[in-house]
C-alpha cells in the first residue's frame, strides 16, 4: 500500500520488524519523558492534571515530528548536548523543589501553561534518543516514522498519569524522578562532542558523572530549600522585632 510521500505499507519482514522495533523503543524510552510530565503537573489541581498531561505531551510530540528530520545533524553541533544537559539538570532541580510536599503545601499551584512550557522544553531537550532511535528503526519510511512518534503519546500519557498519582501517595518517587532527570542531564553533558574530545571519558567516568548528577540534584535541592526556609524565618523574626 503506497501513500506517496508518506511512505508505504508493505507487510514484509523489514516493515514488520520496523513496527516491532519502534514499539519496543517507545516503551523503553517513554519513561524519562513521563517522569518530567508527572513532576511538572503535580502542582496543578487534580481536575487539570490530565489536561496538562495530554496537551503537554501532544505539543511536545508534534515538535518532535518536525525536529526528527534534522536531529541527527543537530546533535553533531558542538555544545548542543552540553547546553541541553545543563537545562535538564536545572529543570530537575526546579521540579524536585516544587514537588516536595513541604515545599508545595503553602505554595500556589502552577498554571497549566507553566506546566506545559516545562514539559515541552524538557521533552524536546531529552527526546533526542527517542527521535534518533525511531528514525533509525523506520529505515527512511515516513509512515513508520510518524507511527513511532505518534505511538509515543499514549505510552507517555498513561505512564505520566500513573506516576503523578503515585507521587501523591509515595513522595519517595519524587526523589527517584529527580535522580533520573539528573542522570539524564549528566549523560548529555559528558557525551557532548566538545567534552568527549577534551576529556575522552571512558564508561567508568561517564557512569560516575551520571551518578554524581543524580545525587547532586537531590542534595542541592535539599540545601537550597533549607537555605530558603532559614531566610524566610529570619525575615519573620525581623518583622516581629519591628
Q: Which pLDDT tens digit goes with each residue over 30-73?
A: 666 778 788 888 778 777 888 888 887 777 777 766 776 666 55
Does the residue 216 lie in any domain? yes
Look at residue 236 in the predicted model and tell me its pLDDT. Answer: 72
Above 70 in pLDDT, residue 7?
no
Does the residue 125 lie in any domain? yes
Does the residue 54 lie in any domain? yes
pLDDT class for 137, splitting at 50, 70, 90? Answer: low
Does the residue 168 lie in any domain? yes
Residue 230 belongs to what domain range? 10-241
Higher pLDDT, 67 or 185: 185
Which of left, alpha, beta for 12 (phi over 0: left; psi -120 to 50: alpha)? beta
- Indicate the pTM of the whole model: 0.65
CB-based contact 37:119 (threshold 8 Å): yes
List the Cα angle 125/114/216 in 5-degree steps: 55
Of 8-12, 138-142, 215-219, minimum mean pLDDT range: 8-12
Does the residue 211 lie in any domain? yes
Does the residue 5 lie in any domain? no
CA atoms of 179 and 97, how far apart (whole Å): 12
Look at residue 213 in the predicted model and tell me its pLDDT. Answer: 95
% of the chain beyond a pLDDT of 70: 68
% of the chain beyond a pLDDT of 90: 7
Of 103-117, 149-163, 207-221, minimum mean pLDDT range: 103-117
Q: What is the total count of domains within the chain?
A: 1
CA atoms of 212 and 16, how far apart (whole Å): 41
Give me the residues paired with residue 2 across strands. 8
Nearest alpha carbon to residue 35 among 134, 106, 118:
118
Does the residue 4 lie in any domain? no
Q: Could you identify the residue written with the cell 574530545?
A: 197
Above 80 in pLDDT, residue 202?
yes
Above 80 in pLDDT, residue 145?
no
DSSP 119: H
Does the residue 215 lie in any domain? yes
C-alpha cell at 70: 534534522
pLDDT class for 74, splitting at 50, 70, 90? Answer: low
Higher pLDDT, 11 or 138: 138
When mean pLDDT is compared over 10-19, 134-143, 187-196, the highest value belongs to 187-196
Enumerate residues 6+ apart whose C-beta is below 8 A from 60.
33, 119, 120, 123, 124, 127
Amino acid at each position: 500500500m503506497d501513500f506517496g510521500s508518506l511512505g508505504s505499507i508493505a507487510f514484509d519482514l523489514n516493515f514488520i520488524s520496523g513496527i516491532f522495533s519502534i514499539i519496543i523503543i517507545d516503551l523503553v524510552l517513554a519513561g524519562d519523558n513521563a517522569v518530567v510530565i508527572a513532576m511538572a503537573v503535580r502542582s496543578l489541581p487534580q481536575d487539570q492534571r490530565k489536561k496538562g498531561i495530554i496537551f503537554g505531551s501532544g505539543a511536545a510530540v508534534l515538535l518532535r515530528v518536525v525536529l526528527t528530520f534534522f536531529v541527527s545533524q543537530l546533535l553533531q553541533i558542538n555544545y548542543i548536548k552540553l547546553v541541553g544537559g545543563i537545562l535538564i539538570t536545572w529543570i530537575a532541580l526546579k521540579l524536585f523543589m516544587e514537588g516536595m510536599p513541604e515545599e508545595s503545601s503553602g505554595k500556589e499551584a502552577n498554571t497549566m501553561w507553566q506546566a506545559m512550557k516545562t514539559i515541552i522544553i524538557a521533552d524536546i531537550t531529552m527526546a533526542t534518543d527517542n527521535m534518533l532511535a525511531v528514525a533509525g528503526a523506520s529505515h527512511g519510511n515516513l509512515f513508520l516514522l510518524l507511527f513511532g512518534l505518534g505511538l509515543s503519546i499514549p505510552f507517555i500519557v498513561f505512564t505520566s498519569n500513573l506516576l503523578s498519582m503515585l507521587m501523591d501517595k509515595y513522595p519517595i518517587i519524587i526523589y527517584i524522578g529527580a535522580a533520573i532527570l539528573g542522570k539524564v542531564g549528566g549523560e548529555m553533558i559528558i557525551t557532548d562532542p566538545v567534552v568527549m574530545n577534551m576529556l575522552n571519558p571512558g564508561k567508568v567516568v561517564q557512569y560516575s558523572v551520571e551518578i554524581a548528577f543524580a545525587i547532586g540534584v537531590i542534595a542541592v535541592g535539599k540545601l537550597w530549600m533549607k537555605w530558603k526556609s532559614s531566610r524566610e524565618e529570619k525575615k519573620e523574626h525581623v518583622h516581629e522585632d519591628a
